[in-house]
Every structure is written in structure tokens, then in C-alpha cells.
A and B are shown apart, each in its own frame.
Chain A
Amino acid sequence: MTTMTYTARDSATMLRRNLKHLIRYPSLTVTIIVMPVVFLLLFVYVFGGTMGAGLPGGPAGGGGGGRADYLHYITPTILVMTVASVANSTAILVAKDATEGIIDRFRTMPISRSAPLNGHVLAALAQTVLGVLVVLAIALALGYRGGASVAGWAGAAGMIVLMGWTVTWLCVALGLASGSVEAASNAPMPLILLPFLSSGFVPTDSMPRGLAWVAEHQPFTPIIDTLRACLDGRDPGSDAWWAIGWCVVVTAVCFWWAVRLFGRVGKG
């Protein structure tokens, strides 16, 4: 039991350290949030008119749609990209720790092996919540209207936190594995690209058959579809189970991988 208590206490100490970094360097958080906001504006105002017209019976009803329908279609995707954007920066912060002497100091102290990593993950989750709220507020200002009930909002929040948890652990492991800050900034690239190869920006059945198969079977599609259904006040059905399943499996693997890497960062 004391082990659990110490893990919690050490993780809280590490979280305070990471939050101090974030508060002291707000430009980092701003950069993270700017990326999805730029995507949102670009896709709604540059591509939105044409893309909306191509939606099969826009969510607002009727055949085809316009810019407003496209805003409605991609808002969940942009929220997911916000989560990925935060995780990407976590990989860099973890790699920075690992390449500096401080991680060796932590490793020679009688503290929980996962505490320094938990600190990064919890700080990233705080940043995720902040980022998602900012992006959602901008989407609402642009005219986005969900149709979610309280349960729908709760489901959407749960999906975002669960996905944030997953991609952050993935990025913690990538940050430790990459060996340098430069490599760590590139390693999570698939997290930024995969949403494009999903149901995030266009319906998968508009893609060529092979690509559509990939899009339908990669984790971002059930995650985005679940989020979209929750925000629209619909039942996500089996998408939710696929999304949760992906998150649980990837988190478990990455947690194990990250703690193992942390045990031997440097060498040996």
C-alpha cells in the first residue's frame, strides 16, 4: 500500500514541476493550440465551401451542404488534432528531460519509476483540457452547434480524456526512445497525419477502396466517429467500443514500454 501512496505522492510532485514549466512558458501552450486553430480556419474558410458541398446529405440535413455543414463535420476532428498536438509536445519535453542530466538524478533516487512519467502525462492532460476548451470555444464562435445532451457532452469529454491519456503515453515512450529532442519532435508525426487518413475530413466511402479500408480500420476513425456522435447527441454504438478498445490496448503497451525505457535511459 505504501508503494501506491509514494507513487501518488511522487507523481503529484512531478506534476507540480511540469505544471510550473507550462505556466512559466505559456508560449509553448499557445503554439500547441495555434496549430489546430489554423487547421480549423483553413479547412472551414478555404476548403469548407467545396468540401461541404461534397458531404453526403450534410449533417444539417438535405443533400450536400455548405461551409456551416463542413464546420460541423470537422469540429470533432480538430478537437482530436488538438489532443494529438499536445501529445506531440510532450514527446519533446520528455526527450529534453532524458537528454539532460536530471533524469539520471531521478533514477538514482528512491522514487517510483513511473512518477516522472506520470508527471508529464498528467500535465499534458491539463494542457489537453485547456486546449480543447479553447478550440471548442473558437468553433462555437464560428457557428458550430452540437446537439448533445448532458450525457453526450460527458461522453465527448470522456473520449477526449481517454484519447489524451493514450496518445500522451505513446508520446512519452516515443520521447524516451528517440534519444534526441530533434528525433522526438518528428516521431509523433503519424498522430498529425493519421486524422487525415480517417473519417475526420471526408467520409471514408469517398476514398479509393484500399485507402478506405485503411481509414475504416485505423484507430482515429472510431475515435472521431464516437466524438462526433456524442457531440451530435447520437448513440456512438460499436464505434465507442472500438475507440475504447484501441485506447486501452495502446495505453497498456505504451505504459509498459515507457517505464521499461525509463529504467534504462542513457544505457545499460
Chain B
Amino acid sequence: MNLQPTAIEVMGIAKSYDDHQVLRGIDLTVPIGTVYALLGPNGAGKTTMIRILSTLITADDGQARVAGFDVATRPDDVRRSIGVTGQFSAIDELLTGRENLRLMADLAHLPAREAGARVDELLARFDLTDAADRRAATYSGGMKRRLDLAMTLVSRPRVIFLDEPTSGLDPRSRRDLWQIVRELLTDGVTIFLTTQYLEEADHLAHTVGLLDGGRLVATGTPAELKALAGGETLDDVFLALTGHAATTDDREEQETTR
């Protein structure tokens, strides 16, 4: 009966490390088949949010449901529904691109015939067919990121988490990745991504959440947010709502991710 069935529901999620409150009570909802961008500077708590939703760490307080399952009590059901591409390359550089994908297919328990077909299909889709039998260590940054994302898709996840998917990529690779994200939507998946690039959120997201200091300071469509702050770009919005620019130093984020 739900008009907009939800893929992700977050209620009052909080997380601290020692005395440092990384997340101070986050509420958000992501409808199925949409892109939600969590936008914020380094150290805002974006990676921590993704780690909680992808069952890597547990929250101190609050509740989160992904694909209908509580992340704290049904982590294995959540894991069956999600795919995660983290900030740090999660490929096996000693294996070839094809072997990396096959590893994922085997771990997803795909039957051998189906696994081979799925691997070929993803290699073609991510423009990696020519490099398929080379070790991933020889790949360029953009190719590694594409392989990383292809590995995430092998098991056909319904909800995909992308933690700063384009950080460190050149403009062309970044646009290629945006195109891939848009294509994923046509398959009906839900995407939750973090970014510090306002342009990226503007381009990709149906809903943008502005995260600053562990709190969501604003949520809405890119257009709504721009109207709210009376600015031309999300940069203006960020400055208007937080009193500082969206890009600050990276020291804090290093602490929260390692």
C-alpha cells in the first residue's frame, strides 16, 4: 500500500568514537529506485554512515533498515541485498579483472555457466573486455574504479552504496562513472552515495542530504536546496546553511576511516 516503498530507512542513528561524536542523530529515507547523495566535507561523517548501513560497524543508537532488514539484527539479510564500493580500492590486484569478477560470482554462489556469462557481460559493460586477462595491478585509476564497481554489481544488488565513487578520478573517468550510475537506475536499483563534489550531487541525485558535523543540516532535491538558500549552485547552499565552504581539510576524515 506504500506509495513509495523505501529502500533505506534511518532513524536517529548516532555514532561516537571515544569523545568524538561522528553522527549525532541522523534520520533519512530513500525510496526504491532513486539516488540519495550524502554531501558534506571531509570529516562530516559520510563514511561512517555508509559503514553502518553496509553492516561494517554498528551504531551506538538509533535504527536503520536496508531493503527492509534491520542492519543490527539481520546483517546477513542486508548483505544479501546490497553492494558496496568503498573509498579505498577493493579489488585484488594480483588477480586479473576477469578473475576478480569470477571471485565475486563464486562467492555469490552463481552456477558456473551463469557466472561466466555474468562476468563477460560486466566486462563488456564496463569497457574492460580488452584488459580482462591482465592483472588488475596494471590498470589505470579509472579502470580500477570501474572494475571495483563491476565487482559490486556481480550479485545484482538491489541497494548500492558508493563511498566517494569519483574521488581521485580525472574529469573524463568521472563523467563515465556518472553515466554508469544513471544506467544502473534504469535497472531499478537504489543508490546511496557520498560525495564532497557538489556538482556530482547536483548531476546524479534525486535527493541530497547536507551533512555537516554529524548532523543533516538540510535535505531536498538539488533544486529545492538551491531555492532554499537563494543560491545558484549547491556551493552557495552549503555556504549559506553551514557558514563554511564544502571543502575543508581532510585530517578528520582520515581519522574516521582508518
Contact = CB atoms under 8 A, between A and B. Distances in A.
Interface of A: 6, 9-10, 13, 16-17, 20-21, 24-25, 100-102, 104-111, 264, 266-268
24 contacts: A6-B109, A10-B107, A13-B103, A21-B94, A24-B135, A100-B90, A101-B90, A101-B91, A104-B84, A104-B90, A105-B90, A106-B107, A107-B55, A108-B55, A108-B56, A108-B79, A108-B83, A108-B84, A109-B155, A110-B79, A266-B51, A268-B56, A268-B57, A268-B58
Contact of B107 (A13, A24, A101, A268): A13
A101 B103 contact: no
Interface of A, secondary structure class, is helix
A13 B106 contact: yes
Nearest to B256: A267
Contact of A101 (B54, B76, B86, B106): B86
Interface of B, secondary structure class, is loop
B82 A108 contact: yes
A145 B95 CA distance: 42
B77 to A, nearest CB: 8
A268 B92 contact: no
A17 B56 contact: no
Contacts of B82: 108
Nearest to A20: B95
Contacts of A25: 94
B56 A109 contact: no
Contacts of B152: 105
A64 B182 CA distance: 81
Contacts of B80: 110
Contact of A20 (B83, B87, B90, B94): B94
Interface of B: 17, 51, 54-58, 76, 79-80, 82-84, 86-92, 94-95, 99, 103, 106-109, 135, 151-152, 155, 258
Given A24-B94, A110-B76, A101 B88 contact: yes
Contact of B56 (A13, A24, A102, A107): A107
A206 to B, nearest CB: 46
A20 B99 CA distance: 10
Contacts of A24: 94, 135
A99 to B, nearest CB: 9
A16 B79 CA distance: 23
- Name, among B58, B83, B90, B258, the residue most crowded by chain A CB atoms within 10 Å (CB to CB): B90
Contact of B109 (A9, A16, A108, A266): A9
Contacts of A6: 109
A102 B91 contact: yes
A268 B258 CA distance: 11
Contacts of A20: 94-95, 99
A101 B89 contact: yes
Contacts of B99: 20
Contacts of B258: 266-267
Contacts of B79: 108-110
A109 B153 CA distance: 12
Contacts of B17: 267
Given A110-B76, A266-B56, A267-B57, A100 B95 contact: no
Contacts of A107: 55-56
B89 A100 contact: yes
A102 B82 CA distance: 16
A6 B258 CA distance: 31
